[in-house]
Amino acid sequence: MEGRLKRVITTAAVFFTAALLVAGCTPGSGGDSGSSDSKTFEFWSFTGINQKIDVDAYTKGHPDITVKLTEVGSSTETAQALTAALAGGKVPDLVLIQGDDLPKFMQSPDNFVDLATLGADKVTDDYLDWVIAQSTTEDGKIIGIPTDVGGLAIAYRTDLFKAAGLPTDRDEVSELWPTWDAFMDVGKRYVQATGKPFLDNTPTSIFFQAVNQGSERYYDSDRKLSYDRNPQVKEAFDLTLKVYQSGISGKIASWTPGWTAGMSKGDFAVMSAPAWMLNAIKTNAPDSAGKWDIATIPGGSGNWGGSYLAIPKRAKNPKAAWDYIADRQSPEGQLENFLSKGNLPTTPSVYTDPRLVEKTDPFFSDAPVGKIYTESVVNIKPFYIGPDDATIGSELLNTLTSVEQGKVAPDKAWETALANVKNALRG
């Protein structure tokens, strides 16, 4: 979920915005959350991630507990609603925060319950150290518990590869593109053979993958903004322009109707597939089951996405919310979540569990999804994610999207992107 792109806006967001106004959940309105019933708690989540599966699993094992789940909208809209609530509105007892939005909330840790006071300090070793570190303050307060990570891979259509005369075996396909330049060359072969686009788009499937494979992103090791001088960011940006100019992109922006329809219609043969993307493919292209497979990402590893569960300070029932976190985000709970809906665990102790290692997905030609995605995250070089990461990433990606739409010339793209970022940060 997840540094990830803004999710598709659903009607739930519209109804929730109206509910906020009716309930007075706007900055300065005051009010507490939840019911006085200690066995009931309110949970705000994103749309499109099947959160109800987790809630139903929990309440089945705890029939005396009532979870009032509200799917607010996109991850961005959920963060915006939480910001308004923390400023004086009605807060939930539990909220899901997307990883790139978390740093802004970490600037005001007193808005949240220190989960160490509820027992989180006893379980921090359960999680990947670089993931739990992102939700831990310098003085040791734990603001959130990680729910998942987004190991990187490439999803490809085996039927379209076969028609283009390319290998279809996932190991052979992975060997085709050890580097992004090799990936581009495969794309050229595909386009030459078929006359059709190889890739859905470059901003999402190239830039957001490559920029998340470096040892630094938009901040340096001293936690100072470095997006405009970090060579790794510029290299990812220039790579994206290079791939775009090679002519292999379908220029179909992610999360648009054309993109979702294109998965079924075969309008492109490959797309980026962080672990959480698999559900999007299944949801949007159910009739393409068995036509997809999963190959290693060029470069071999990386992470895009991930989220955290946090409890606002004014939550009515923090204990009930914590009990939910402790159950569903334990190693066993995260393993169950992976087996039921594919979210990649942040708990490395389960990475060798046979249930994960041997997990295959028939939709993706029985690809060993557990093995592929855990291998993608165990060797990554973690980088600091700062309070403006989401804004910077969005502006860079939006500029590259404008290039694909013909609104910005490639030779003006970097200059335009920097100007857009600076304007956004000033705003």
Residues facing residue 15 across a β-bridge: none
Burial of 397 (0-12, 13-18, 19+ CB in 10 A): buried
Element (H, E) at 241: helix 231-245
What span, in angstroms and rounded, lies between the C-alpha atoms of 422 and 427? 9
CATH 3.40.190.10 corresponds to the domain 154-303+382-426: yes
Q: pLDDT tens, 308-347?
A: 999 999 999 999 999 999 999 999 999 999 998 889 999 9
pLDDT greater than 50 at residue 11: no
What span, in angstroms and rounded, lies between the C-alpha atoms of 75 and 60? 27
Q: Are strands 94-98 and 40-46 parallel, antiparallel or unpaired?
A: parallel
What pLDDT is recorded for position 16? 37
What pLDDT is recorded for position 381? 77
Could you list the beta-strand ranges (E) of 158-226: none
Asked which of 182-191, 278-287, 405-414 is least confident by mean pLDDT, the reply is 278-287
What pLDDT is recorded for position 36? 54
Helix pair 51-61, 318-328: axis angle to 10 deg: 100
- Asked, colleague to colleague, whether 11-150+305-364 and 154-303+382-426 share their fold, the answer is yes
Q: Cβ neighbours of residue 96 under 8 Å, at least 6 residues apart?
A: 43, 44, 45, 46, 51, 78, 147, 307, 308, 309
**Euclidean distance between the first and final Cα of the chain, in Å?**
25
What span, in angstroms and rounded, lies between the C-alpha atoms of 50 and 75? 13
Residue 281 CA, distance from chain mean position: 14
CB 152 within 8 A of CB 303: yes
Q: Which amino acid is at 287?
A: D
Radius of gyration of the chain (CA): 21
What pLDDT is recorded for position 24? 39
3.40.190.10, 1.10.150.310, 3.40.430.10, 3.40.50.300: CATH of 11-150+305-364: 3.40.190.10
What span, in angstroms and rounded, lies between the C-alpha atoms of 92 and 4? 23
- Nearest Cα residue to 213 out of 44, 351, 382, 360: 382
Hey, where are the domains in the chain? Answer: 11-150+305-364, 154-303+382-426
Q: Positive or negative CA dihedral for 79, 81, 86, 87? A: positive
Half-sphere exposure of 212 (CA within 13 A, CB side): 34
Using DSSP's 3-state secondary structure scheme, residue 38 falls into coil
Q: pLDDT tens, 268-315?
A: 999 999 998 998 899 899 999 999 999 999 998 888 889 999 999 999
